[in-house]
Structure 1
Amino acid sequence: MATLPTPPIPTKQPHPWLHFVAGGLGGMCGAIVTSPFDVVKTRLQSDLFRQKHAAVNIMGSGGSMVMSAPRPTNLLYNFVETGYIIRDIYREESFRALFKGLGPTLVGVIPARSINFFTYGNGKRIIANKFNEGQENSYVHLTAAAFAGIVTGTATNPIWVVKTRLQLAQGDRKVLGGSWLCIKKIMREEGVRGFYKGLSASYLGVTEGTIQWVLYEKLKSLSVGTEGQGAVSQWMGMLGSAGSAKLVASLITYPHEVLRTRLRQPSVNGVLKYTGLWQTLRLVIAEEGARSLYGGLSAHLMRVVPNAAVMYSIYEGFIIWGANH
């Protein structure tokens, strides 16, 4: 029976482009598995859909009177609500609607993760060699992660704008056709600048990737460095490190996700409600309260934590394989 390879720190450096391939493959697998949660998260972050899911509507016997009961606000209900929304999307829009935006998501995730892992994996080696006598530490990881986040966000922002617009569109359209129509609509109505909506919030979100990478490296070193562990235990430790790092980073930095989604919303009757990062932050808090900055958090966590575990495990597997061949 085949056994899992023990995941030590590689004794020799893998080929630089292996980071690119490993990151892209890991990101692709994670995105496909968790796509329905991504759709729910985007809709809960947007005020275009918040009202629909904010209350339970009770129709009167004549169908003319509607009563709204406020929904519970505890964290447990938020996870239950995610299940209800997935069910409603399936019933009202079709199974295909649970994968809205998957086309641009994959088109975005593969290069985004490839660029991020490539830039980070090679960046930390270069920074360590140039400035820290070849030794990695938390400062090296932090610098490399911040640089990788800026490069990735700038390169892939247009793809995420298209994905967000598709996920906010109601109805059942074919993914590829919908993506192309969306691209033409943005170009026609907003120009090239329209593809960079939310870029300021993406730069703010670099802090999430930075925190995630630094925590992951620290937790991984503690897990892998534990004596007496078998291969399975060490791999589980690395999976746990990836998921835990993503959980903590997401909880700390989540509001930027909501601000980014609002900035990428389409105009309503030709009017853009959200025009800048700080304007959006002030307006959201004034109209909906600070709690709305965590809209869709449950769906987000249900998506990104297992996504990170899958993505990083595939990435590490490729890196170990490359270092030994």
Structure 2
Amino acid sequence: MTRGNLNRIEVLEKDVEHSYHFLTSDEKSSTLREVEDVNYKSASQPAQVKSWVHFVAGGVGGMTGAILTCPLDVVKTRLQSDAYTKMYNRSPKSSNIIIKAAQHFQETGSVLKNIYTSEGSRALFRGLGPNLVGVIPARSINFFTYGLSKDFLSNNFNNGTEATWVHLLAGINAGFVTSTATNPIWLIKTRLQLDKTKGKHYKNSWDCFSHIVKTEGVTSLYRGLTASYLGGIESTLQWVLYEQMKTIINQRAVKQGSDKTTKDHIMEWSARSGAAGAAKFVASLITYPHEVVRTRLRQAPLESTGKPKYTGLIQTFKLVVKEEGMASMYGGLTPHLLRTVPNSIIMFGTWEIVVRLLS
């Protein structure tokens, strides 16, 4: 072998030795990218949970939230009703947004105090019975139907992956099924919360149910159903927003790696629960007028004529705006937000804990 060939071999060996580290680095970075892609997919595509787990967890979460926030639900319902709005809304509201918000907070506290002093502490939990009877199956059905619909749509129409349109359709279906199944319960709850006779008119939920069926007919139990369907937009929007925020939170958690402390896990859970509250806040602001319309439709018939004042979705909306102004379509918004935002945080947080325990 000539000297020139030996020199070329030595140069080639040095080149190979010099390039080896870069080849290894490329292979390693490629592997890391694959792992990172898998982690991001697992963050955005969480493992599927059995439908019955969603059913149980949704019921437990709904029950916990309803008990803790019941007094604010009573205030919200009364401020939505024309039977109480004139009693509680006596002071004129400022045109300044900040001052107006402060007035609404003061009004909410005033109504709570008024109910407590004039009707007793039990009045703050009036309607809790049918509320729990309604919330537990309503949240169970909602979480169950949403989870089932999401799995069905993603597995059969989107190659097993989730997407915004999947969340949207699953939310619409869950809202429709839930509203249809639980409307009679919410109607009874509304009647009980609007009863200002300290239990003289309706002794309990069953007495209220019997009175409605006897005097107004079975079909009256579904008054406000159209407004409830409209309200399905709120729950659908909440689901979509929650899923988007949860995906972002999970992706950030993946970046932090697997070495997490208990504090890190608690912070992630708190962030996901907070995302549920933020989603509810935005959804409520956008769709709130349907709440007022639904409450008006569920009111008892007028004592003077025996006929309902509000007879339909459009008729109610027009009549309320004509008689009380557009601002009345947001009556009770402050206690509604004070109740539903923490309620959503509690409900979704409890739901996630129960899902993890049962899974």
TM-score using structure 1 length: 0.90
Deviation at 1:248, TM superposition (A): 0.3
Using CA pairs under 8 Å that are at least 6 residues apart, name the structure with larger relative contact order, 1 or 2: 1
CA 1:106–1:176 in structure 2 vs 1: closer, same or farther (change >3 Å)?
Answer: farther
Query: CA 1:144/1:10 → structure 2, altered by over 3 Å: closer, same or farther?
Result: closer
Task: Kindly state the Cα deviation for residue 16 of structure 1 after the two structures are TM-superposed.
Answer: 1.8
The corresponding residue for 1:26 is: 61
- The amino acid that maps onto 2:130 is P
Residue 197 of structure 1, aligned match among 191, 213, 223: 223
Verify the 8 A CA contact 1:14 1:322 in the aligned structure 2: no
Q: 5+ unaligned residues in a row in structure 2: which ranges?
A: 1-41
In the TM superposition, what is the alpha-carbon distance from 1:294 to its structure 2 partner?
Answer: 0.2
Of 333, 341, 348 in structure 2, the residue corresponding to residue 312 of structure 1 is: 348
Mark the runs of 5 or more structure 1 residues left unpaired by the alignment.
Answer: 1-6, 56-68
- The reply to whether residue 223 of structure 1 matches residue 257 of structure 2 is no
Distance 1:238 1:292, change over 3 A: same
The residue that corresponds to 2:163 in the other structure is 137
The 2-side partners of 1:84 and 1:237 are apart by 32
1:98 matched to 2:124? The reply is: yes
Moved more, 229-238 or 103-112: 229-238
- Cα 1:28–1:176 shift into 2, 3 Å: farther
Question: Contact conserved, 1:105 with 1:163, CA < 8 A, in 2?
Answer: yes
Q: Deviations over 1:248-302 (max 9, x none)?
A: 0000000000000000000112121100000000000000111100000000000
Which amino acid in the other structure matches residue 238 of structure 2? Q
Alpha carbons 1:124, 1:144 under 8 Å: kept:
yes
Structure 2 counterpart of 1:47, one-letter code: D
Q: 1:31 to 1:174 in 2, by over 3 A?
A: farther
Match of 2:84 among 38, 49, 69: 49
Please state whether the residue corresponding to 2:204 is helix, strand or coil.
helix
Judging changes above 3 Å, is the alpha-carbon distance between structure 1 residues 287 and 242 closer, same or farther for their aligned structure 2 residues? same
SS at match of 1:268: coil
Alpha-carbon separation, structure 2, partners of 1:176 and 1:117: 32
Describe the shift of the 1:10–1:137 C-alpha distance in structure 2 as closer, same or farther (beyond 3 A): closer
Please tell me whether the aligned partners of residues 58 and 347 of structure 2 are also in contact (alpha carbons under 8 angstroms): yes
In the TM superposition, what whole-angstrom CA distance separates every residue of 1:184-240 from its partner, at most 9, and x where no partner exists? 110011111110010000001110011000000000111122122721221121011
Identify the residue that residue 58 of structure 1 maps to in structure 2. none
Identity between Structure 1 and Structure 2 (%): 52
8 Å contact from structure 2 (residues 45, 162) kept in 1: no
Contact 1:101 1:175 (C-alpha < 8 Å) held by counterparts: no
Contact 2:195 2:202 (8 Å CA) reproduced: no
Partners of 1:277 and 1:309 in 2: how far apart?
30
Alignment-derived partner of residue 66 in structure 1 = none
Q: Does 1:88 align with 2:106?
A: no
SS of the residue corresponding to residue 334 of structure 2 reads helix
Count of aligned positions: 304
Aligned 1:59-208 pairs, distance under 5 A: 70=92, 72=94, 74-173=100-199, 177-208=203-234
Output the amino acid matched with 2:85: R
Post-superposition Cα deviations, 1:64-102, rounded to whole Å, max 9, x if no partner, equal xxxxx5355711110111011000000000000000100
CA contact (8 A) 1:96 1:172 kept: no
The separation in 2 between residues aligned to 1:176 and 1:28, in whole angstroms, is: 24
2:43/2:247 contact within 8 Å kept: no
Q: Over aligned residue pairs, what C-alpha RMSD do you find?
A: 1.9
Looking at structure 2, the residues matched to 146 and 71 of structure 1 have their Cα atoms a distance apart, in angstroms, of 36
Q: Which amino acid aligns with 2:284?
A: S
Q: Counterpart in 2 of 1:63? A: none
Deviations 1:87-124, CA, capped at 9 Å, x for gaps:
00000000000001000000000000000000001110
Moved more, 234-243 or 250-259: 234-243
Q: 1:247 aligns to what?
A: 281
| Partner of residue 265 from structure 1, selected from 299, 302, 306 | 299
- What's the CA shift for 1:318? 2.0
Farther off after superposition, 245-254 or 220-229: 220-229
- Compared with structure 1, are the counterparts of its residues 266 and 238 closer, same or farther at alpha carbon in structure 2 (3 Å cutoff)? same
Letter of the 1:294 partner, please give it: Y
Q: Note the C-alpha offset of 1:182.
A: 0.7
Identify if the C-alpha distance between structure 1 residues 302 and 285 changes in structure 2 by more than 3 Å, giving closer, same or farther. Answer: same
- 1:321 to partner: Cα distance: 2.8
Could you say which residue in structure 2 is the equivalent of 1:282?
A: 318
What is the alpha-carbon distance in structure 2 between the residues aligned to residue 22 and residue 172 of structure 1? Answer: 35
**CA distances 1:116-146 after superposition (whole Å, capped 9, x unpaired):** 0000011101110011010101000000000
